[in-house]
Chain A
Amino acid sequence: MSGSLRHVYGWLLLTPAAILLIAFTHYPTVATLVESLFSRGSAIRPSKFIGAANYEAMLDDPVFWEVLGNNLWFALGTIPTSVALAIAMALLVNRALPGRGFLRLAYFTPTILPMIAVANIWLFFYSPDIGLLDNILGVFGLPGHNWLGDPDTVLGAIIVMTVWKEAGFFMIFYLAALQTLPPELEEAAKLEGASRWYYFRRVVFPLLMPTTLFVLVNAVLNSFKLVDHLFVLTKGGPDNASNLLLYYIYENAFSYFDANYAATLTVVLLVLLAIMALAQFFFLDRRIHYR
């Protein structure tokens, strides 16, 4: 086979993947960037090029800053908690204990449910007075609370629900990783007289780091792209107290029909995600031990 023909083969083999990538990833990204430089158009007033005006308007938009702040808290609230919980659950169900299969299933169940269904269930958990949460509080003689109607508690309520939904999913990855650890390590640690905590901190956790990186990337992505529950629970309210960036993009695109401002916000989201992905791969990756 001649060299040039081999190139053709190579390109032909790449073509299907390349077409999909260009059509559904690269082209939309570029189109979004271009859209964000134009004004909102209608039949009466056609869209025109306005440079960075959309970005200037965004910087002046108080809702944008509030939404961005909410998203930051949402990420800080969900990521460490769900990852820690996932490790704890994985360690628990990795041991030999009666009813292990059942327990694993129980931990994994929230993951199988669609987010919309979860939100509908939790809507009734949180509902004041008649909800499960307030009923439990009532047993202890504590007063009920309007969890989703109070700007101070609404974001926390949504974070708790998201952790409940996500932790089981991450647990599966940790469980798989734990099962690949050679049992000799634990035996050796025992012989050396290492405590369980020391063994976890110095042996298990470092060996789980590749999984942790993978889970972290997923958790960060999810904290920006999971907004299904907002449609059911709060619609971003009260007064934007639970509004997240992606939901705000949706509102702009489909409630206000301002595709151009939505594109502007999307560019911000893309940049944020790109920065975080790069940071994770370049800084965290160096500190990870791959076997």
Chain B
Amino acid sequence: MIDTFKKTMAGIAAAACFSVALSARADTELTMYYPVAVGGPLTQVVDGIVADFMAENPDIKVNAIYAGNYNDARIKALAALNSGEPAQLSVMFSIDIYELIEQDAIVAFDDIVSTDEEKAWLDSFYPSLMENGRTADKTWGIPFQRSTIVMYYNKDAFRAAGLDPENPPATWDELVDAGKKLTSADGSKWGVMIPSTGYPYWMFGALTMQNDQVLMNNAGDTTYFDAPATVEALEFWKALGSEHKVMPEGAIEWGTLRQNFLEGQTAIMWHSTGNLTAVKDNATFDFGVAMLPASKRRGTPTGGGNFYIFKQTSEEERVAAMKLIKFMTSPEQSAAWSIKTGYMGVSPAAYETQQLQDYVKEFPYAAVARDQLEFATAELSTFQTGRVRKALDDAIQAALTGAKSPAEALGEAQATADRLLQPYR
């Protein structure tokens, strides 16, 4: 008993000396906030990458602080900055960019990079992942945990309905036709579910892009909520429930949709690639993953988190932060991150690594999101982004629940957005 106690104490003492030695060697200390939007064990993955980085760069010490979901991470990081606590970089929602610029909280990467090699590095990522990180001709965010929407479908249900399981619907019309065959008359099985709580504007971004219409301009000061193609997209979404009867009417819950799919209540669901690993682990049936169907073209918004560097940082801290970001978005780390989480590799080079190529060979659905990037657009993001997004969310839900017509609801949302964005034009 005493012996164990002594050993433990000795161990603690040794560990203390060791960490003192480590921190004595660290010249630069970085504090990084990061969110995890899809649940627990991912924090260990991030902490693991950070530990690898510190082993390679003994002169830099990184405190990686897990800060909850995207909203919490932004609140905590901004609160820390306001109270004078140190924070040099953070992973935050890619769509927070205008808010962060308006608060004068972040610095553009163009102002930090110096060598040609670093400038080339800025262009090494998938262009569609950079859309949410670039405005006013500058790069403010570097993609890290990024996703898109994909279509998950139940191959067993497709076979039972006499549909080809290797040929999922590729257009809106095919989606409706397949949905009608997959929906049972008693309402126990549905053809399609597109979630409309949580992030309705995100799903809607996919439908509008498929109808060849974006929701906002790159300057973040104009929205196109009442454009004819936007209204048409919302009419189609509503019609899936009210007219074609292939989707339940009313709002469909984001949080329980995966469970609905896993229990066979719906044969097709649109959801984040972030669910890929969970569906793979829990599906008791043969499932497939495909790109979203097209109306005039294919389309999806990207989503997820970017790296930002804060303005209140010293020269050395910025250099160290750049080193860390480069490490975490390097092809090898990005590939490992993608395999462990289902998030996408952020650069073409990540998909060329042996690791990710082997994984894609074994599990081809891991590449669907990448292939879809070609058709991807930015996620809805403007100045006053919270309010503008909420106006659109409310309009979508009002239309889907039948409280207002799509044209009426979107017209009101556009008027709200115009009023909010007027001062920024």
Contact of A251 among B187, B196, B249, B390 (CB under 8 A): B390
Whether A239 contacts B256 in the complex (CB less than 8 A), given A42-B102, A251-B390, A256-B386, comes out as no
* Nearest B residue to A255, CB-CB: B386
Can you give 6 A-B contacts (C-beta < 8 A)?
Answer: A43-B102, A44-B102, A44-B104, A128-B253, A239-B394, A240-B394
Asked whether B384 is an interface residue with its Cβ less than 8 Å from the other chain, the reply is yes
* Number of chain B interface residues as a range: 35 or more
Distance in Å from the Cβ of B84 to the closest Cβ of chain A? Answer: 16
* Nearest B residue to A257, CB-CB: B99
Inside 8 A of B249's CB, which chain A residues have their CB?
Answer: 146
Inside 8 A of A254's CB, which chain B residues have their CB?
Answer: 71, 75
Q: In whole angstroms, what is the CA distance A241 to B402 when docked?
A: 13
Contact of B260 among A130, A143, A238 (CB under 8 A): A130
Q: In whole angstroms, what is the CA distance A128 to B393 when docked?
A: 21
Asked whether A234 is an interface residue with its Cβ less than 8 Å from the other chain, the reply is yes
- Chain B residues proximal to chain A, CB less than 8 Å: 71, 75, 99, 102-105, 187-188, 196-198, 248-253, 255-256, 259-260, 263, 265, 384, 386-387, 390, 393-395, 397-398, 400-401, 403
Inside 8 A of B393's CB, which chain A residues have their CB?
Answer: 237
| Cβ–Cβ contact A255 & B398, under 8 A | no
Whether A151 contacts B403 in the complex (CB less than 8 A), given A130-B265, A239-B398, comes out as yes
Inside 8 A of B103's CB, which chain A residues have their CB?
Answer: 42-43, 257
Describe A's contact surface by its main secondary structure: loop
| Cβ–Cβ contact B197 & A130, under 8 A | no
Asked whether A235 is an interface residue with its Cβ less than 8 Å from the other chain, the reply is yes
- Chain A residues proximal to chain B, CB less than 8 Å: 42-44, 123-124, 127-130, 143-144, 146, 148-151, 232, 234-235, 237-241, 251, 254-258
| Cβ–Cβ contact B403 & A149, under 8 A | no
| Cβ–Cβ contact B256 & A149, under 8 A | no
| Cβ–Cβ contact B387 & A256, under 8 A | yes
* Nearest A residue to B254, CB-CB: A235
| Cβ–Cβ contact B397 & A144, under 8 A | no
* Nearest B residue to A232, CB-CB: B255
New A-B contacts (10) at CB < 8 Å, excluding given A130-B263, A130-B265, A239-B403? A43-B104, A146-B252, A149-B253, A149-B401, A235-B197, A237-B197, A237-B393, A239-B395, A239-B397, A239-B398
* Nearest A residue to B400, CB-CB: A238
| Cβ–Cβ contact B260 & A127, under 8 A | yes
Distance in Å from the Cβ of B100 to the closest Cβ of chain A? Answer: 10
Q: In whole angstroms, what is the CA distance A143 to B398 when docked?
A: 23
| Cβ–Cβ contact B187 & A144, under 8 A | yes
Inside 8 A of A42's CB, which chain B residues have their CB?
Answer: 102-104
Inside 8 A of B263's CB, which chain A residues have their CB?
Answer: 130
Which of B99, B251, B255 has the most chain A CB atoms inside 10 A of its CB?
A: B251
Inside 8 A of B104's CB, which chain A residues have their CB?
Answer: 42-44
Contact of B251 among A124, A232, A237 (CB under 8 A): A237
| Cβ–Cβ contact B397 & A238, under 8 A | yes
6 A-B pairs with least C-beta separation: A43-B104, A149-B251, A149-B250, A238-B397, A256-B386, A255-B386
Inside 8 A of A240's CB, which chain B residues have their CB?
Answer: 394
